Each structure stands twice: as structure tokens, then as C-alpha cells.
A and B are shown apart, each in its own frame.
Chain A
């Protein structure tokens, strides 16, 4: 296995009762890449995501993250290992404020010792301060600092999407998994999102795995693309290769 391989999925299958939703999907994500997973609606992309991030236990196959098998771990352990995801229909803590969303996300970095918290020790205060500062830093970066004390549920849709990404970033992940981050965004917001992902990649060295329907976004920012159709792997390659692949075109446009 190459040094630079961050995530490696081998022969992943997921069966729900009689339905084989994902069938022998394999993919590699190398350090620092932006890799996209595309395919028509119902192709099983989100199921692949759910298997990788530990929400489903795959029927068969392997998920290796930094060379370690992940497929039997529960979701929260996978997140702690450094793989953090967003959701197709944004899952914020809607009744909590924007900044609180980012504080919750840093639960593992915060001082969780109850005694220290009850007694308000110096160490506890310092750690809380750090957590708060990191949250503020990320709010600044995604342009939501002015909304810090608003309830997250009251943000505009595009802002909620950005907050969800910031919430992932405060956990200091290695791999950021985005499930249709551009869904429901207008062209301007999509452009901002595009720039944001590029900046995250350049400045933070984050690796991104992306599910997306917006083809111009996908073609623009992806280093490599995997295509699945009806749960099966169809093609993979650079954006140019994918755009020219007749199989892919057929899958998207349907049989003549």
C-alpha cells in the first residue's frame, strides 16, 4: 500500500433484505486529494458514505483508514479516527446557537473531567477558552462570525451548509466527507463553496471525499472521480477521462 493512501475501500457491499444497494465498490483516496463519488439518483452513493462513516455495517468488504480496518467500528469511533462527514439534509443542532454547534463538535478536545468543571479549575477555564477560540476562528473562516450567537436553525440554508462544514473542521479531521454540499445552493453560494473547498485543501491540507450532483463543481475541484450506477462501480479516473467515458454518459442520459 502506498504511503500516501489515506482511505482505501475494497469490495464494499451492502444488502438491505433482498436489495443489494452497494455491490463490490472499491475506491482509494490519497492524502491531499479531492475525490468525488458521482452517479445517478439512487445509485447507492450515500449508502457507500454511510458504510464508510460507520452508520451502516457493510455486508462485506473492507474500509481501511490510514491502513487500519474501520468497517466494524461504530460511527463515533470512526469520527474520532479523523473521518468526519456532513449530511445530505443538513443535520445541525437547530435549537443551539451557531457557536454552541462548534463547541459540541469539540467535545473530545474539551475538558470533560466533571470535577475540574464543577470546581472551575484553571486548567478547565483554559481548555474552554481554547475551544471557544477555535470555534471563533472557524466561524471567521466560513464567514459566520457575525451570527455566532444566533440559533443555528434560523440561519439561511447556505449558511447552514457552511456551518456544518465548519463544525466538521473544528474536530480537526484528516478526511472531510461531504454529502451533496451544493444541494439547494444558488450559483453564487455554490461558487463560494467551491472556493472554500479549494482553500481548505490548500491551507489545511485536508483531504476531501465528495458526493455531488453539480457536475461543474465536481469537474472543477476533483482530482479523481468514481462513478457508481445501481450500486455497482462503473468507472473511475480524472475528470477529463470521466467526461469522455461513453459508459458514464450512457448511465446519465439513459439507454437510447
Chain B
């Protein structure tokens, strides 16, 4: 019985982390779907989103506002806006000028941007951990005499907000004009351009949406862990990318699925083997999937144009 409860606890933890990976992974997958490049700086956008959320929460708390819901909503909105602005600017500065060049050029520009943003934040905000208090302490406990499963309020919030964001995204993509344009661009950008779709705008919007979702993840994970430093974007980005590839890069449902699988795999490794090798799991999984099914779980194999 305890065994089962322990497993359940690890799965809950895994789903919590995994759903935030999924949110970040969407940014990778959308950008990849439209311009076919990996936005290496995406992890840093997530990190910036976390900082902004912390700044807002701390700032408002200093002004004496202690309504938790208000704090969270305000932090969410502001960090989404600021992160989006960063995503937009990054695309303009580092990616648009090299869009027509060889893939290697764009990749180096992206990795350069990532290094730049990380160190920019380090210089602006300091390299040490910054903490915020837990806004939503407590949770539900259930289980037997031995092991008690803990489902914190924060975990529930993470699920709910993730689901809402995903739902909003799905609605946006299937219903709105811009969403349709997005889909058209991911099918055939040249054709979409000829049909009068402003592809530059669509690409910008893709970065903005991806950044906004990364900021949501930043707020959620930031509140969950309670700390932030300029280096969190590196690992989170790598993992979210793994999630995107796992699910099938270019596929939005794939990103969600990949995130959840990765989260659970990590939690189980941490729970049963050793937490030190938790991070190795992501890379191991990435290499395995690239070996045997590089188009991912929900993706389709690419046909090379000759």
C-alpha cells in the first residue's frame, strides 16, 4: 500500500513539473513549426518571466497588498507582458536579420542571445538566489498509516493554470484570424505570404505567445520552488526542448504530452534512483527518442525536399 502511495506521490510531483515543462515547450514547438529553428534563448525568457513575477509579488507585498489572488493575477499579467516584449525584441534583433542565412548562422545567433540574456540578468539582478515566501502554503493530505500523499494547493494551481493556458491557446489557434494565419504559415510560409498573410507579424506573434506561456510557467514554477537565479533558464530550456522533441517538434499537443512524460520520468528517477541523476534522465530520453523516433510521439517524419 505504501509502495503504491509513494508511486502516486511521485506521479503527482512529476505531473506538476511536467505541466510547466509543457508550457515552455510550446514556445519551442511553435517557433520551430513556423520558422524551423530552435530558439535557444527561450529558456532565458522563462527565467526573465520568473524574475518579473518575483519583482511584482515582492513589490506589491511591500506596498501592503496581501490578497493572494490579486498578487498572483498581477504577477501573471505583468510577467507575461514583459516576457512577451523580450521575446518580441529577441526575434527582431537576433533572428530576423539572419532568417535567410544558413541554419548554422541562426543557431549561433540564438545561442549567443541565450548567453547574452543570462549574463544580462546576472549583471542586472545579481547572481545569487532570490526567494519569495510561499503564498499558498498547505494542501490536502491523504493515505494510510505509513506514507501520506501530499497534494499542495500550489500543485493544484499549477494544473489549473496550465490547463487554462493550454485551452486558451487551442482556442486562439483554431478560432482567431491570427491563429489561422499561424497554421497557414506553419504549412507553407511562402504560400501564406503570397496569399497576403503578413508572415513577419505571424512570426513575431509566435515569439510573443511562446514567451507569454513561458512567463506563465515562470510564475508557477517560481512560486512552487520559491527561488530564482539567472541560471535556471538553461536547464529548464533544455528540458522543455526535450519535451518538445519527445512529443514531436512542431506539434502543440505533442509538446503537452512530452512535457508530462518527461516530468513523470524525472520524478520517478528522483524518487526511486537518485535525485542527482534526475537531470541526466532528460538528456538520456532525448538521445533515445532522437535515435529511434526523431519525429517524436505525435509528429510526422519529415519528407526532404530535393
Shortest CB distance A15–B (Å): 11
Distance, CA A185 to CA B304, complexed state (A): 27
Decide: A87 and B306 in contact? CB cutoff 8 A. yes
A50: B residues at CB distance < 8 A: 306
Decide: B303 and A16 in contact? CB cutoff 8 A. yes
Question: CB < 8 Å: which of A17, A46, A55, A87 contacts B304?
Answer: A55
- Name the residue among B303, B304, B306 with the largest chain A CB count within 10 angstroms: B306
A-B contact count (CB 8 A): 8
B306: A residues at CB distance < 8 A: 46, 50, 55, 87
Distance, CA A50 to CA B305, complexed state (A): 10
Shortest CB distance B188–A (Å): 14
Distance, CA A50 to CA B300, complexed state (A): 20
Distance, CA A17 to CA B306, complexed state (A): 17
Interface set, chain B 277-304, CB cutoff 8 A to A: 300, 303-304
Q: Which residue of A lies closest to B304 (CB)?
A: A55
Distance, CA A56 to CA B303, complexed state (A): 8
Mask, A37-58, CB within 8 Å of B = 1, is 0000000001000100001100
B304: A residues at CB distance < 8 A: 55
Interface set, chain B 136-192, CB cutoff 8 A to A: none
A46: B residues at CB distance < 8 A: 306
Distance, CA A16 to CA B300, complexed state (A): 11
A16: B residues at CB distance < 8 A: 303
Q: How many residues of B contact A (CB 8 A)?
A: 4
Q: Which residue of B lies closest to A53 (CB)?
A: B306
Secondary structure at the B interface, as helix, strand, loop or mixed, is loop
Mask, A128-151, CB within 8 Å of B = 1, is 000000000000000000000000
Shortest CB distance B113–A (Å): 27
B303: A residues at CB distance < 8 A: 16, 56
Distance, CA A240 to CA B306, complexed state (A): 33
Mask, A159-191, CB within 8 Å of B = 1, is 000000000000000000000000000000000
Interface set, chain A 8-48, CB cutoff 8 A to B: 16-17, 46
A17: B residues at CB distance < 8 A: 300
Distance, CA A17 to CA B304, complexed state (A): 14
Interface set, chain B 187-241, CB cutoff 8 A to A: none
Distance, CA A209 to CA B232, complexed state (A): 58
Distance, CA A52 to CA B303, complexed state (A): 16
Shortest CB distance B11–A (Å): 36
Interface set, chain B 83-113, CB cutoff 8 A to A: none
Distance, CA A179 to CA B304, complexed state (A): 17
Shortest CB distance A14–B (Å): 10
Shortest CB distance B38–A (Å): 25
Distance, CA A87 to CA B306, complexed state (A): 8
Distance, CA A16 to CA B305, complexed state (A): 12
Q: Which residue of A lies closest to B303 (CB)?
A: A16
Shortest CB distance A18–B (Å): 12
Distance, CA A87 to CA B300, complexed state (A): 26
Shortest CB distance A34–B (Å): 23
Distance, CA A140 to CA B83, complexed state (A): 61
Shortest CB distance A13–B (Å): 15
Distance, CA A56 to CA B304, complexed state (A): 8
Shortest CB distance A109–B (Å): 25
Distance, CA A46 to CA B306, complexed state (A): 9
Q: Which residue of A lies closest to B300 (CB)?
A: A17
Distance, CA A80 to CA B303, complexed state (A): 23
Mask, A77-100, CB within 8 Å of B = 1, is 000000000010000000000000
A87: B residues at CB distance < 8 A: 306
Q: Which residue of B lies closest to A50 (CB)?
A: B306
Q: Which residue of B lies closest to A87 (CB)?
A: B306
Interface set, chain B 14-49, CB cutoff 8 A to A: none
Distance, CA A146 to CA B192, complexed state (A): 45
Q: Which residue of B lies closest to A91 (CB)?
A: B306
Distance, CA A50 to CA B304, complexed state (A): 10
Shortest CB distance B294–A (Å): 15
Q: Which A residues form the contact surface with B (CB < 8 A)?
A: 16-17, 46, 50, 55-56, 87
A-B pairs, top 4 by smallest CB distance, nearest first, are A55-B306, A50-B306, A16-B303, A55-B304
Q: Which B residues form the contact surface with A (CB < 8 A)?
A: 300, 303-304, 306
Contacts A17-B300, A46-B306, A50-B306 supplied; 5 other A-B pairs, CB < 8 Å:
A16-B303, A55-B304, A55-B306, A56-B303, A87-B306
Pairs across A and B, CB under 8 Å, 8 listed: A16-B303, A17-B300, A46-B306, A50-B306, A55-B304, A55-B306, A56-B303, A87-B306
